[in-house]
Structure 1
Amino acid sequence: ETSLAHNPESASTWELLARAHLRLGQYRQVVEAARRGLAIDPQESDLVSLLAMAHVELGETEQARAAAANAVRLDPESETAHLAYGHAALAAGDAKTAAAAFREVLRLDPGFDPARDLLVTALKRRNPLYRILSNLRGRFLGGWRMVLLLPAVPPLVAVFVLIAVLHWAAWVAEAVTVLRLARAKATRLLFEGVEARVALASCALLAAGVGVLALGIALGQDALGTAGAAVMALVTPVQEAAHTGSARGRRVLYGWTGLLVVAIVASVALGSTGVALLAVYAGIGTIWVAAGVRRFSPAPERPPGR
């Protein structure tokens, strides 16, 4: 800002100011700075890319896509332009175009890890079921403070159960989608070992749970059948732990998962349907445990992308 006070006709300084506002989350100021710079140099692709990114964050999808397309037209070899184009396409729900854009970013700059993460996100969102369930999970977050409302409004338990089941279904879709992509020849290199192993473990828990549930029904043993449902519910704590950015938070959630496993084994050994049912509720209800853990053990801040 001091530099611009001395020389307001410097497009590169307006670009630097726009980047600073973008890092601070001041998206309207990004738009203003980018437009001031473009008034000086309309052919500056990076300024147009920053404008597109700001429109994405402001929810102005059509403006974002138009600006991003213009940035790519101005400089087809700019990874920043393709990154903005991918962000805009992803915000518009066009996962196929977004994936192509992020692949282009990685072609231009193979070491740019955020583009790899965004490509994985775009590939996942090409699965319609994953997309629907992921959107529902994002809409019904179920923050940990909601638990405090239960004593005042007991009927909310039905809402809690619905939210928990939606999250569980979304995590199942996540596991199946990741496992499919991790095994496909064209995309297997995009997935780290941990991510693929967690997906495999989640799918194995689902299959084992179905098997135990079926066995319990066949033998007429309620405790065994309910334990099968509890095993399936373990998908939520495993996925919540794996998707927690804080190492301490992951340890806490994996410890919680271990306690649930002990409870399930105990329910089978004791023939206790009540203990198994509590394990089911605790398993799918891990979304609130995880929300509290993340609140008190936040993930370390990642450096911003381009």
Structure 2
Amino acid sequence: MTSARQRAFLLLQQGRVDLAETELRRALAEDPNDAETHALLALALCDLDREAEALEEANRAIGLAPELTPAHLARSQALLQLDRAADAEASAREAIRIDPGDADAFAALSAALTARRQRQEALDAAEQALRLDPEHPSATNLRAIALVRLGRRDEASGAIEGALSRDPENAVSHANRGWTLLHQNDVKGAMLSFREALRLEPGNEWARSGILEAMKARNPVYRGLLAYFLWMDRLSSGQRWGVIIGGYLAARLVPFLWIVYLPVVLLTWTGDSFFSLLLLLDPFGRLVLNREEKAVAALVGTCLIGGLGLGIAGLAGAPEALFPVGLGLMALAIPIAGTARAPEDKRRLSVLYTAALAMVGAFAAFHMLANPLGDMHVTLGGIYVFGIVAYTWAGNLLVR
């Protein structure tokens, strides 16, 4: 190991990732074909949230040394951060093939399976990692996450408390405790755990997203919505589809249920962004929300509030056409909110679909207001409604 790489390794252990990157690039300047240094640089770039660069470095490492386990692990981590969980799983399995005794490889597999919502398989992989290394911090936390999502909360709590007793300064363990408490509807306790996680690691995304959910959950309406989200999250893919299809069929059989079903669908898709909009009124909320979340919240809020205003105006005596136009604008919030939740590799498709829907809706509204007796707005409106309904079904595959 070169002296530059040794220094980089020590810097990574100390959390000084930017300095470690400098040392690793210095090492590569001396030996551009050192696969291990490329793999280590890939991991450093993952820590710096430069996933695309990390993937390039991991691929270079694999090209130089196809049987190098750390290179495949670095590739798995980069792919996972790029929301390419299936590819991340494949890289983790390749690492296991090369070295079946590597606990890190099984932890990487567990992380990928967690992202793919394969909870039991994720738990099995985490437990295999712990059999190889009982003190493995990442595997301990991944096991706790899987237990929470499988509904085995007591076991999860025990696992998290055990992890914290061994390492009280582990931010991920504190964040996991927060999510466990959220599942138990203990919003106050969850908030304390998320704050502690962020104190220890200010950039921890798992804790930041958790504290956002806890802040929104102070609103009783969102608390009910969050309980629904967390309950659905514990179900398998088939069970979730059973709930969705069952609700739709129930509304078809009992027409009165549409009064409940449609608002629930709208709230399910847009509630997260709408309550983020309310957090903009909170000084701490404004600090926790990132730029994208603020922009999406503003767009969704504009659609919902603007659409409601137009609908009320239409009912109050303004041009009656404003009522369906308002409903259409409110419905547009669904694909906008869905686009924000879509994985990176599917987001472009969702953006294009949403933009096309918005154009069709705008033309339908124009024709409805300009020529309410014509047929064009009926045709365009039908296409628009079909597009929105299709998104509520296809979007369940898109954003999972």
Structure 1 and Structure 2 fold alike (TM over 0.5)? yes
Are the aligned partners of 1:260 and 1:279 in contact in 2 as well (CA < 8 Å)?
yes
One-letter amino acid of the structure 2 residue matched with residue 288 of structure 1: A
Q: Which string of whole-angstrom CA distances, capped at 9 and with x for unpartnered residues, describes residues 63-118 of structure 1?
A: 11222123223321112321331232233333333333233222222233343233
Are the aligned partners of 1:209 and 1:230 in contact in 2 as well (CA < 8 Å)?
yes
Query: Could you say which residue in structure 1 is the equivalent of 2:388?
Result: 286
Equivalent position to 1:117, from 192, 200, 209? 209
**Match status 1:270 vs 2:270:** no
Equivalent position to 1:229, from 327, 335, 344? 327
**Match status 1:180 vs 2:290:** no
Distance change (3 Å), C-alpha of 1:171 and 1:112: same
Distance change (3 Å), C-alpha of 1:236 and 1:74: same
C-alpha distance in 2 between matches for 1:261 and 1:65: 51
**Match status 1:16 vs 2:104:** yes
> Which consecutive unaligned segments of at least 5 residues does structure 1 have?
6-12, 302-306
Are the aligned partners of 2:172 and 2:206 in contact in 1 as well (CA < 8 Å)?
no
Query: Could you say which residue in structure 2 is the equivalent of 1:261?
Result: 362
Q: What is the count of residue pairs matched by the alignment?
A: 282
**Match status 1:167 vs 2:265:** yes
Query: Could you say which residue in structure 1 is the equivalent of 2:339?
Result: 241
C-alpha distance in 1 between matches for 2:386 and 2:198: 37
1:48-67 equivalence runs, <5 A: 48-67=140-159
The SS at the match of 2:145 is helix
1:96-115 equivalence runs, <5 A: 96-115=188-207
**Match status 1:127 vs 2:219:** yes
**Match status 1:214 vs 2:312:** yes
Equivalent position to 1:198, from 296, 315, 320? 296
Q: Which string of whole-angstrom CA distances, capped at 9 and with x for unpartnered residues, describes residues 4-46 of structure 1?
A: 87xxxxxxx6x536514523532342464366468x66xx766
C-alpha distance in 2 between matches for 1:227 and 1:217: 12
Query: RMSD of the TM alignment (CA)?
Result: 4.2
Shift of 1:154: 11
Distance change (3 Å), C-alpha of 1:280 and 1:165: farther
**Match status 1:27 vs 2:122:** yes
C-alpha distance in 2 between matches for 1:110 and 1:179: 23
Equivalent position to 1:74, from 162, 166, 176? 166
The SS at the match of 1:59 is coil
Distance change (3 Å), C-alpha of 1:240 and 1:281: farther
Q: Which string of whole-angstrom CA distances, capped at 9 and with x for unpartnered residues, describes residues 146-166 of structure 1?
A: 6xx99xx99469577854431
> Of the two structures, which has the highest relative contact order with CA contacts closer than 8 Å and spacing of 6 or more?
1
Distance change (3 Å), C-alpha of 1:181 and 1:280: farther
C-alpha distance in 1 between matches for 2:395 and 2:215: 29
Are the aligned partners of 1:106 and 1:115 in contact in 2 as well (CA < 8 Å)?
yes
Q: Which string of whole-angstrom CA distances, capped at 9 and with x for unpartnered residues, describes residues 36-63 of structure 1?
A: 468x66xx76664344233123220121
Q: Which moved more, 1:91-100 or 1:274-283?
A: 274-283
One-letter amino acid of the structure 2 residue matched with residue 214 of structure 1: I
Query: TM-score, normalized by length of structure 1?
Result: 0.71
Are the aligned partners of 1:236 and 1:283 in contact in 2 as well (CA < 8 Å)?
no
C-alpha distance in 1 between matches for 2:220 and 2:198: 25
Are the aligned partners of 2:137 and 2:163 in contact in 1 as well (CA < 8 Å)?
yes
Distance change (3 Å), C-alpha of 1:280 and 1:117: farther
Are the aligned partners of 2:110 and 2:123 in contact in 1 as well (CA < 8 Å)?
no
C-alpha distance in 2 between matches for 1:165 and 1:254: 23
Distance change (3 Å), C-alpha of 1:154 and 1:89: closer
C-alpha distance in 2 between matches for 1:289 and 1:47: 36
Are the aligned partners of 1:202 and 1:239 in contact in 2 as well (CA < 8 Å)?
yes
> Which consecutive unaligned segments of at least 5 residues does structure 2 have?
1-95, 114-120, 233-238
One-letter amino acid of the structure 2 residue matched with residue 259 of structure 1: V
Q: Which string of whole-angstrom CA distances, capped at 9 and with x for unpartnered residues, describes residues 157-215 of structure 1?
A: 95778544312133453343101212311121221223212222322333333332233
Shift of 1:122: 3.3
Are the aligned partners of 1:34 and 1:50 in contact in 2 as well (CA < 8 Å)?
no
Are the aligned partners of 2:325 and 2:365 in contact in 1 as well (CA < 8 Å)?
yes
The SS at the match of 1:222 is coil
